[in-house]
Structure formats: C-alpha cells, structure tokens
Structure 1
C-alpha cells in the first residue's frame, strides 16, 4: 500500500511537470510570435487595437515618482525585500515585502504621445539595483538601544528596478484614442448605458418622466425615456469628440502579451523562445518519468 501511495505521488509530480512544461512552452512560443508578427506603428497613425510602439519615456509633470528603497527619481519602480533566515540547518531568503508602481507612463515616438497604464504588464527594466543591509527598510531610521541590539543579527536583501526619463521603451498592448473625433458611436449601446445610469436613481427618473404621478412608467413614458437617453448619449459623444485626442495603451482584453521593456523586440522574442525551450525540456522529462513510472507497475 505504501509503495502504491509513493508511486501515486511520483506520478502526480511527473504528470504535473509534463503538463506545466507543455503549457509554458505554448504560452511563451505564442507570445514570441505575437511580438514578431505585430508590425511597429507610429503613434500618430496607429490603428485602434493591438499595436507595437517604440519611443522614449518622458516625465509626467503632475506625477512625482521615486523609488521606495533608494529614493531616486524615476517614472516606474518595482521592489522586493527579503530576510535571511537560518534554522534547523536550513538557510534561505524569505520574501517579506514587495510592491510595484501603478503610475502612468508617457511615451513619445516623435509623431505623438501615448499614456500607458502599466498595471498587468510584464515590465522589463534595464536598471536593477540589489544590495544587503540590517534594516527592515533601507530608508528607515537606524535603530538604537535595545531594539537595535535585537535587530543587529538580521540580514535583509533589497532589489529595486526602475524606468527612467529618457530611456527607450518598447511597448505592445491595447491602443485606444479618446477625443479628437476618432472614436465611433454605438448609439444603441450608449443609449442603454445612459438608461442604466438613470435607473440607479429611479426616484429621480420618476420625477422627470412620470407625468401622471402614478409611481411607475407606462409605455409612452418609457418611449420618452429612450428618446431622452438617445439625445444624452449623442451629446456626450459630441463633447468627448471635441476634446483633444489622447492616446492610451493598457492591458489587452484577450490573452495577448502586454510587455513594456527597455530592450528591443528581437531580444525579447529570443528570451521568450529560450523560455519555451526550457518548458519543452521540462515537458519531455515529465513525460519520460511518467512512462518509466507506469512501466514499473505494468499499467
């Protein structure tokens, strides 16, 4: 019975490794193909949808961003703090804190500007600093007295990655232009959205359109609601269209990659192919281990 239980556990690991390796291979291969098959666009003439851009990072004057561990000015950061632990002959670095900036980025390619929402992106910055210290937070005040004595034996490792103004940036994701008269109007969808908004304040809706005061809207009154909602949707669209065009990039709705990197497209794709190859090796090893384990019991 124990042999069967051990075999079952081994099979679970080998099958899991094979499946995870296969999934990782397909995912990374697909991402590499998306990068290489998507042509580079200029911001001024980019189509709406999934696009690839090259440009230079610029500062957003209204947003002041600094690295949380170093205090250095930047436009985006990611950090990790680990504590060194040693117990029962086991030594390891245990993550204790991490974080990622959500500040928007501004990309300029010489033809226009695009604001980028980095949430959900795979960000690959070239600037990476790593060091060690004995404070829980490297910018915190030095501990003195009894607390300083208690913490003197602790070791921490800090990692901070940053994007800076003036750096080149490769970006691939979902591109949309708001304002400037470029977006179309789905009148029925916009009308329904206005009606849903008005229904949120049903008392106000009755006050505006319940002419006979009976506490509900009949068909004639609902027709007036629909007409008013249509006119409101058209007016809102005109107001948005009159605003200056604003380009934005964000995470795609599908499973397509959303990548922001200081490296070029070919370098990123090459790394993805290597990761796909590693996944294929893991998948093959898992499959061979599964076949060998099954052969033991002659299933």
Structure 2
C-alpha cells in the first residue's frame, strides 16, 4: 500500500473509531436519562425535566393532512427519494423532506399538556413506504396486488404520522403557566413593564412628566417605577386566576427530547443495543488504527 493509501486508511479507521465512540456515548446517555427520570402525572408534575405517559387527543388547532397521502393526523413527517444509478453505484437520493410543527395535545388521567414537537426525536406508530413514477404521489400508498405488480420504482415515498387515540411516551422540558403556579419576580416583572412603556415614550411622558419639560426627573422616575411595580403585580394576579396551562418542549440542556408511541422499556432496550453497536465500531476502528500504525513502524 502506498503512502497516500495508508494515510487514507488510517484517517478512515480513526473516523470510524471516533464515530463509534460518539454514538455509544450518545445512546448510552439517553438510555440513562430515560431510566433515571421518574414518570409524572401532568397535574402534579414539577417544573423542569419530566416524562409522561398518555394518549394523544385532537387539539384546538384541528387535524392536519399528511402531505403525501392526505390522511388526517395530528403530526406528520415525509421524505421523497429518487433512485439514481451511475455505473455500479446505485442509491436513493433525498429530494424533499419535512415535518409538521403544530402543537400536540397529550392527556393522562389528571390533565392535558400541549407539546411543541420542534427539535424532538419523534418515533411514530404509523409509517408508510411505497414507490411510484411521479415525483409527487397521487394519493395514498399502493397496497395489495397493485403494490406487488408495480414496476414504477423511480421514486420512493415515506410518510410517518401520529393520530388521535394513539399512546405516547414523552420526555422533555415541562413548564406551566396560570393557576397560581408561577411565583412573581417583582424586579424582573417591573423591568418588563417599564420596557413596554418606553416603547411609547410619548405616552410615558404624558402620564408622568408633571412639569411638562419633556424629561423625567428623579421624583417622576420614582413614580414610574412605583406604577410599573403595581402594574406587574396586577398582571400576575390576573394571570394566576386563569386555568393552568401545561407545555412540554425541547430542554435547554443536552437532554433527550423524545416523543414515542413505544414505551420506555422498549426505547431503553433499543438504545442499549445501538450503544453496543457503537462500542463495536469504536473497537474495530481502534484495532484497525493500531494495525495500520504497526505496519508503518516496520
């Protein structure tokens, strides 16, 4: 093997080892997060990182339509691929892909929670894959004899969906508003009110510039701060009387955000198998690297 070939092989073996180590670390860490996070009920859940089991319900925003099948659903993800061949090289090339961002409503025996699916690893129960001759399919997937004897294989379509009534395991960052659950940070709330008032500085002067000189002196500014404090307390009081609203979204830290129709046990089992695969890749890459370095030392 020439020098260039050896360098290329060494780079590939190092990359395989590093990639396997990263995949092992990622999947093993995700499995531990799932096992270490206790299951909570929506009504009594603490603020922060939580996991829920529940059932998907129709939300106030109404049902969506799958972009490829026009099937009614609550969430969708699709992909359109084209079959390409060049010499002995054949592969499927992705032409289009996307997923919906509408809020999901998860209900358990104690309440409901809205879920923002953006940034989540979604593992739906419904998945359809079929092929056709047009870039965009005309309706639902072919089934039965039509699919068996179809030779139109230039394009491959994949659509995944979540539907009302399906079970859902969700783990992510939980936040509640209303219902008297939020404490009042008076300094922060007062500052937010003052910033809002400064957006209409003319109106602010009209209310608090008693001398009419177009400026706020120290005494007038104290009145602004007092009024802003009272306004912040009043807003908090009004918000606390509203029914509690619960939201689940992507955590700010590097914690798993997963929405899955499969339960925790099945997910953990899959993650451990994938972590084992990553460890084997890392070991294979390390052995190949050691072997290549051993060749170069002689």
TM-score above 0.5, yes or no: yes
CA distance in 2, matches of 1:284, 1:213: 78
TM-score, normalised with respect to structure 2: 0.88
Aligned equivalent of 2:146: none
Contact (CA 8 Å) 2:208, 2:224: kept in 1 or not?
A: yes
The yes-or-no answer on 1:156 pairing with 2:155 is yes
Aligned to 1:235: 234
* Structure 1 unpaired stretches of 5+: 141-151
**Contiguous gaps of at least 5 residues in structure 2:** 140-150
Q: Relative to structure 2, which stretch is displaced further, 163-172 or 85-94?
A: 85-94
Counterpart of 2:86 in structure 1 is: 87
Q: Distance in 2 between matches of 1:82 and 1:18?
A: 30
Paired residue total: 287
1:190 match: 189
Q: Hey, what's the Cα distance between the residues in 1 that align with 2:160 and 2:152? A: 27
Aligned-residue offset at 1:213: 4.5
Greater CA drift, 31-40 or 218-227: 218-227
Alignment of 1:172-211 (within 5 A): 172-211=171-210
The farther-off stretch of 241-250 and 197-206 is: 197-206
Deviation readout 1:139-185 (Å, 9 max, x if unpaired): 38xxxxxxxxxxx9872110111111111111111111211111111
SS in structure 2 at match of 1:266 = helix
Residue of structure 2 equivalent to 1:11: 10
1:155–1:219 Cα change, 3 Å: same
Distance 1:298 1:194 in 2: 71
Distance in 1, matches of 2:185 and 2:61, equals: 34
TM-score between the two structures when normalised by the length of structure 1: 0.88
What SS does the corresponding residue of 2:95 show, helix, strand or coil? strand
Give the aligned partner of residue 292 of structure 1. 291
Q: How far 1:7 moved relative to its partner?
A: 3.5
Tell me how large the CA RMSD over aligned residues is: 2.3
CA offset digits 1:3-62 (Å, max 9, x no partner) = 444443333322222222212211111110111111111112111111111111111143
* Residue 191 of structure 1: how far off its partner (Å): 1.9
Q: Does 1:263 align with 2:262?
A: yes
- Greater CA deviation, 163-172 or 287-296? 287-296
3-state SS of 1:239 partner = helix
Moved more, 106-115 or 57-66: 57-66
Question: In the aligned structure 2, how far is the partner of 1:293 from the partner of 1:204?
Answer: 75
Equivalent position of 2:135 in the other structure: 136
Aligned to 1:167: 166
Q: Distance in 1 between matches of 2:53 and 2:116?
A: 16
State the partner residue of 1:148.
none
Structure 1 residue 100: Cα displacement: 0.4
Partner residue in 1 for 2:51: 52
2:223 matches 1:224: yes
